[in-house]
Amino acid sequence: MFCEERLKEFVKWLEVNENKAPITVYRYKNLIMKIIKSNIPIHEYIENFKRTHHPNGYKNLLKALRNYAKFLKNKEFEEFVKGFRFPSVPFQYEILPSKEEIIKFYNEIRDSQLKAIFLMLISSGLRINELLGIRAKDIVFKRRIINASLIHNGTTKFSYIAFFNEEAEKSLKEYLNGIKLDADSRIFTVKARNVQELFNEISKRLGIKITPKTLRKIFTNELGRKRIPDRFIDAFCGRIPNSTIAKHYSDFSPENLKQIYDGADLKVLSRTIVEHNGVVYG
């Protein structure tokens, strides 16, 4: 049932039949591969995994197994996997870094590309893999708009359009100075793993915990403090299905969203930003 040859077929099935996003395919592939290499009975493996991993990790394992069972068309195995319930994820909160801590962290970044990534993440609300998937043709520099509508080919995440502030624009142009890009060229050449590693290194050195996901939370928190309605924050962060956007296009038109974004006047490096030392619940 679990073998490397089947795993290759499973990956193709996820990509073609299920239209899963590349990051999801990668995650499920790795989870199943670890089962294959463990040589442990599946029931025992699941129980061990549950005891030693965070509920979110355990949830991902069960999702991978449910998809694998569906791929195998093995009813008995499907029922076996369904017998393991998804865990309830515990209530979590995070104290976001203060304005001074954000600036201190940013100033530790030496590479111009990574500086631009930091400012694009914190001012756009994009997920790290979304930002790194952006191509030259997706950015309208004159209006500081990103067309993110074609980033996701999966069914669980969405993206529409995003915006970035003047600080990010300046940093992005400094990074791109002298670089020739075709329309289909990716703006950024680093991988998400490289960004995570740098952020982890700086976090340990400064004692200030910041990840790409933290920057997304700061973005949503700042918009909330500016009293931007939740539906627009959800639109900026890619939490609204395209079908909903189509039904309410006047609300979510690029022109309207741009006006709302500019009205928020988001700043990262200047002293006008609202402090981020409150508690965010999620």
In 39-188, alpha helices (H): 42-52, 55-72, 75-82, 99-107, 112-124, 128-132, 166-176
CATH of 4-82, one of 1.10.760.10, 2.60.40.10, 1.10.287.620, 1.10.150.130: 1.10.150.130
SS3 content of the chain, % helix, strand, coil (to 5): 60, 5, 35
Helix, strand or coil, per DSSP, at residue 235:
helix
Q: Which letter does DSSP use for residue 133 in this model?
A: T
Alpha-carbon distance of 100 to 103, in angstroms, equals: 5
Task: Report pLDDT for 281.
Answer: 33
Contacts for 202 with CB less than 8 Å, ≥ 6 apart: 105, 108, 109, 208, 210
Give residue-wise pLDDT tens across range 176-192. Answer: 999 999 999 999 999 99
**Taken in order 17, 18, 24, 29, is the CA torsion positive or negative?**
negative
**Sequence spans of domains, the chain:** 4-82, 93-281
What pTM did the predictor assign?
0.73
Task: Provide the residue type at 38 as one letter.
Answer: S
Q: Which segments of the chain have a pLDDT < 70?
A: 90-92, 150-159, 241-243, 246, 271-282
Instruction: Please report the pLDDT score of residue 91 as a whole number.
Output: 66
pLDDT for res 39? 87
> If you ran DSSP here, which 8-state letter would residue 20 be given?
-
| Contact call for residues 222 and 276 (beta carbons, < 8 A) | yes
CATH class of 93-281: mainly alpha
